[in-house]
Structure 1
Amino acid sequence: MKGERDKDESSAAPRRQVQLRSGGDQPVDPEDLVMLSGRDVTPERVERARRELEEKGAAAVERYLP
């Protein structure tokens, strides 16, 4: 029966390749950074996120998205 099982698996459609990204390779707005942190968007948090993005760049995003 092993041969039948191998045959079924080989005839299955090929799996779709998934490309994982860290998130730091894409542009992120301060609002996005606040949402990544799991917090509500407030003007104070957006301003803090804007400063963090200016200072740290993509590293600010990497903090939330490995």
Structure 2
Amino acid sequence: MPISQPDSPSPSEDTTTPDALLHTGAGGEVSPEDLVLATGRDITPKNLAWAERKLAAEGPAALDKLLP
């Protein structure tokens, strides 16, 4: 699906997501739920406990390590 630019009269053939739209959110607060969802797992007590331990050990950077 082409991405159109607001100031462009016609859709662009470039399908690359602009850098301004790419972010992990690690600059803000990261919750255990965020970490679990980033791995593609279901939110279960076991997965939340894992995410809490990982966040305690690595901080918000844990999310950056999971996302491309």
Q: Which interval holds the TM-score relative to the shorter structure?
A: 0.5 to 0.7
Distance in 2 between the 1:58 and 1:28 partners? 6
Report the alpha carbon displacement of residue 18 of structure 1 after superposing the two structures with TM: 5.3
Report the alpha carbon displacement of residue 59 of structure 1 after superposing the two structures with TM: 1.9
Aligned position for 1:13: 7
- Identity %, equivalent residues: 40
SS in 2 for 1:63: helix
Are the equivalent residues in 2 in contact too, given 1:23–1:65 (CA < 8 A)? no
Runs of 4+ in 1 over 6 A off after TM superposition: none
Q: Does 1:45 align with 2:47?
A: yes
Q: Which is further off, 47-56 or 18-27?
A: 18-27
Aligned position for 1:24: 26
Report the structure, 1 or 2, having the larger helix content. Answer: 1
Structure 2 unpaired stretches of 5+ = 1-5, 9-17
Query: How many residues matched?
Result: 53
Report the alpha carbon displacement of residue 30 of structure 1 after superposing the two structures with TM: 0.4
Distance in 2 between the 1:34 and 1:18 partners? 24
**TM-score, normalising length: structure 2:** 0.63
**TM-score, normalising length: structure 1:** 0.64
